[in-house]
Amino acid sequence: MSVLIKGGRIVTAADDYVGDIYVEDETITLIGADLDQPADKTIDATGKYVLPGAVDPHTHLDMPFGGTVTIDDVESGQTAAAFGGTTTHVDFIIQPQGATFAQALEEWRAKANGVQVIDMGYHMAVTDLNEGGTLEELATLPDEGITSYKLFMAYKGALMVDDETLFRTMEVAAETGALVMVHAENGDVIDVLVKQALEAGHTEPLYHALTRPPEAEGEATNRAIQLARLAGAPLYVVHVTCREAVEPIARARDKGWDVWGETCTQYFFNSLDDIAKPDFEGAKYVYSPPVRDKSNWDVLWNAVRTDILSAISTDHCAFLWDGQKTLGKDDFSKIPNGGPGLENRLQMIHEFGVRAGRISLNRMVELLATSPAKLFGLYPRKGTIAVGSDADIVIFDPEKRLTITAATQHSKSDYNLFEGTEVTGSPETVLLRGHVLVENGELVAQPGIGQFVERARFGEELRRGPAPAAA
Ligand code: URP
Ligand code: ZN
Ligand code: ZN
């Protein structure tokens, strides 16, 4: 199968030029001006942006959490991703208590086999190093392409680990070349604040945010940074929301330490005003760390612009408002934490980042594709447009106007965090390894086309097949 993409504005993290792309056998084999290679399919991209398929390093599909299971399984979540221009994601395996890592991996693979729409990798979330997986077993995961370990410093009584588990995992990562990821909030302190709020009769969604203050995120972020430094492990702080967490990351990076951070689309747009909405509507915005005061929006834009934060993910962890979020109707601590987002990341960051003049088009590509691909061992196979890279390509119409709404989304959730937002610019055609996934508003590929990608160790590159011949 060969594809010729003609006349588009090719934008990578580094370049911006008009050209043609030729794809053979799933990879990009030629980039140039006025290519006229015979092709099975030719796409006219005149007037469109031609972007690398976006990479989402933080998603939760088909995950048991908060007394229920996320509403998006692999097929629906990845379909939403494809429409949003994301062609690769890295999902979290959550080690069930008492299970070995091999058992956890088998369980998660079974959820994905045969239904994958896009390519994917896994992080391993370590919850138990006593009864289940061992440090020795953890050390073998990078050999299977699972090259990042995730630890939750919050969700006491569920996913939270103690500092010993955190530190021992960091020591393993330092040995094996894995990247350590942390959900950085002080779970012990939050647990006290939640109990106090409930004892005082505060049951509404707003108290989810009020019992998880920015200081709890800042403290845990700083603790993780110091422990990773001690262990000699590289650290990636997920879903950073506020100044209190941005500052320790900025300091660490300024010192040249191996520390990176991401934020997520929703933290630029949702705020305490949303979670305070009446009639339990605020529950739609219950995720952790929580929505913050709006003053943090500029802090985050500044952090992504200046590379204090290096990626924007979605933390897609979708639930129904009606039927799942309502588990916490009388007690905010029982509202499942998480929200949908896989479909709208590119549209939202293009509109309010690029079109609003906050970041350049190149920086958008870097934040949504190139940098996550580099940090998570997928580059240069993923995350860029180059000869030898997988032909994961988004043809993006910068003039397309639309209103984001749950009514037309592909996630199974019954709401959208950005409901009613008007944007100009949206993916038009999406290719995965040269196969057309989305065209004319339809999913045209069959589930099963997506593959599991074995990622390279931290700092190493991922290539496939023999190196392409010189042009
Ligand atoms: O509320 C959230 N973010 N749910 C997903 C799990 C996590 O903490 O990332
Ligand atoms: Zn988290
Ligand atoms: Zn998450």
- Domain check: are 26 and 121 in the same one? no
Residues 82, 147: one domain?
A: yes
* Predicted local distance difference test score (pLDDT) of residue 133: 86
Tell how far the Cα of 31 is from the centroid of ligand 1, in angstroms. Answer: 40
The pTM (predicted TM-score) of the whole model is 0.98
Q: pLDDT per residue over 199-225, tens digit each?
A: 999 999 999 999 999 999 999 999 999
Q: Write down the pLDDT at residue 15.
A: 98
Tokens read off for 283: 């529950």
- Does residue 344 have its Cβ closer than 6 Å to ligand 1? no
The HSE-up count of residue 395 (CA atoms within 13 Å, CB side) is 27
| C-alpha of residue 345 to centroid of ligand 1, in Å | 17
User: Per residue in 390-422, pLDDT tens?
Assistant: 999 999 999 999 999 999 999 999 999 999 999
- pLDDT (tens digit, 9 = 90+) per residue, 5-61? 999 999 999 999 999 999 999 999 999 999 999 999 999 999 999 999 999 999 999
Q: pLDDT tens-digit profile of 134-177?
A: 999 999 999 999 999 999 999 999 999 999 999 999 999 999 99
Q: From the alpha carbon of 60, which atom of ligand 1 is closest?
A: 5
Q: Length of the chain in residues, anyone?
A: 471
Is any ligand 1 atom within 6 A of the Cβ of residue 70? no
Atom 6 of ligand 1: nearest residue by CA position: 338
For residue 27, report the distance from its CA to the centre of ligand 1, in Å: 34
Q: What is the 3-state secondary structure (H, E, C) of the chain?
A: CEEEEEEEEEECCCCEEEEEEEEECCEEEEEECCCCCCCCEEEECCCCEEEECEEEEEECCCCEECCEECCCCHHHHHHHHHHCCEEEEEEEEECCCCCCHHHHHHHHHHHHCCCCCCEEEEEEECCCCCCCCCHHHHCCHHHHCCCEEEEECCCCCCCECCHHHHHHHHHHHHHHCCEEEEECCCHHHHHHHHHHHHHCCCCCCHHHHHCCCHHHHHHHHHHHHHHHHHHCCCEEECCCCCHHHHHHHHHHHHCCCCEEEEEEHHHHCCEHHHHCCCCCHHHHHCCCCCCECCHHHHHHHHHHHCCCCCEEECCECCCCCCCCHHHHCCCHHHCCCCECCCCCHHHHHHHHHHHCCCCCHHHHHHHHHHHHHHHCCCCECCCCCCCCCECCEEEEEEEEEEECCHHHCCCCCCCCCCCCCEEEEEEEEEEECCEEEEECCEECCCCCCCCECCCCCCCCCECCCCCCCCC
Same domain for 178 and 264 = yes
Query: Are both 105 and 8 inside the same structural domain?
Result: no
Would 410 be classed as within a structural domain? no
**Ligand 2 geometric centre to CA of 33 (Å):** 45
Kindly state the average pLDDT of the residues 244-261. 98
359 with 393, same domain: the answer is no
pLDDT confidence of residue 353: 98
Q: Tell me what pLDDT residue 464 has.
A: 80
Q: Judge if 233 and 167 occupy the same domain.
A: yes
Determine, yes or no, domain membership for 99.
Answer: yes
Domain boundary among 342, 375, 408: 375
CB 14 within 8 A of CB 374: no
CATH no. for residue 220?
3.20.20.140
- Whether 315 is in the pocket of ligand 1, judged by its Cβ within 6 Å, is yes
Ligand nearest to the CA of 220: 2
| Protein residue with its CA nearest to atom 8 in ligand 1 | 288
Does the residue 151 lie in any domain? yes
Going from the C-alpha of 274 to that of each of 161, 295, 331, 435, the distances in angstroms are 30, 14, 18, 39
Is any atom of ligand 1 closer than 6 Å to the C-beta of 169? no
Ligand 1 pocket check for 350: Cβ under 6 Å:
no
| One domain for residues 44 and 169 | no
Does the residue 450 lie in any domain?
no
pLDDT score, position 465: 61
User: Does residue 230 belong to any structural domain of this protein?
Assistant: yes
Task: Specify whether 164 is located in the same domain as 202.
Answer: yes
| Residue 461 counted as domain residue | no
Task: State how far the Cα of 142 lies from the Cα of 148, in Å rounded to an integer.
Answer: 8
| 467: pLDDT strictly greater than 90 | no
Going from the Cα of 90 to the center of ligand 3, the distance in angstroms, rounded, reads 11
Token pair, residue 106, equals 């088998």
The total number of structural domains in the chain stands at 2
pLDDT score recorded for residue 470: 41
pLDDT digits (tens, 9 = 90+) for 347-398: 999 999 999 999 999 999 999 999 999 999 999 999 999 999 999 999 999 9
Q: What is the pLDDT of residue 370?
A: 99
* Residue ID of nearest Cα to ligand 1 atom 7: 288
- Looking at the structure, tell me whether residues 162 and 14 fall in a common domain: no
In a domain, 168, yes or no: yes
Q: Is the shortest distance between the CB of 301 and ligand 1 below 6 Å?
A: no
Give the ligand with the smallest distance to the CA of 182: 2
Nearest CA to 262 among 226, 212, 313, 227?
A: 313
- The ligand minimizing its distance to the Cα of 313 is 3
pLDDT tens digits for range 323-332: 999 999 999 9
31, 73: one domain: no
- Domain region containing 22: 3-51+382-399+424-443
Binning pLDDT at 50, 70 and 90, where does residue 471 land? very low
Does the Cβ of 338 fall within 6 Å of ligand 1? yes
Q: Does 183 contact ligand 1 (Cβ within 6 A)?
A: yes
Can you tell me the mean pLDDT for 79-101?
98
In a domain, 287, yes or no: yes
Which residue's C-alpha comes closest to atom 2 of ligand 1? 338
pLDDT of residue 130: 86
Probe residue for ligand 1, chosen from 337, 342, 413, 417 as the CB with the greatest number of ligand atoms within 8 Å: 337
Pairing label, strands 235-237, 259-264:
parallel
Q: Judging by DSSP bridges, how do beta strands 86-94 and 54-59 pair with one another?
A: parallel
Cβ atoms of residues 439 and 6 within 8 Å: no
Query: Mean pLDDT over all residues of the chain?
Result: 97
Probe target for ligand 1 pocket from 58, 262, 315, 334, with the most ligand atoms within 8 Å of CB: 315
Clarify whether residues 60 and 143 are in a common domain.
yes
Rounded to an integer, what distance in angstroms lies between the CA atom of residue 105 and that of residue 99?
10
CATH number for 11: 2.30.40.10
Residues 43 and 123 in one domain: no
**317: Cβ below 6 Å to ligand 1?**
yes
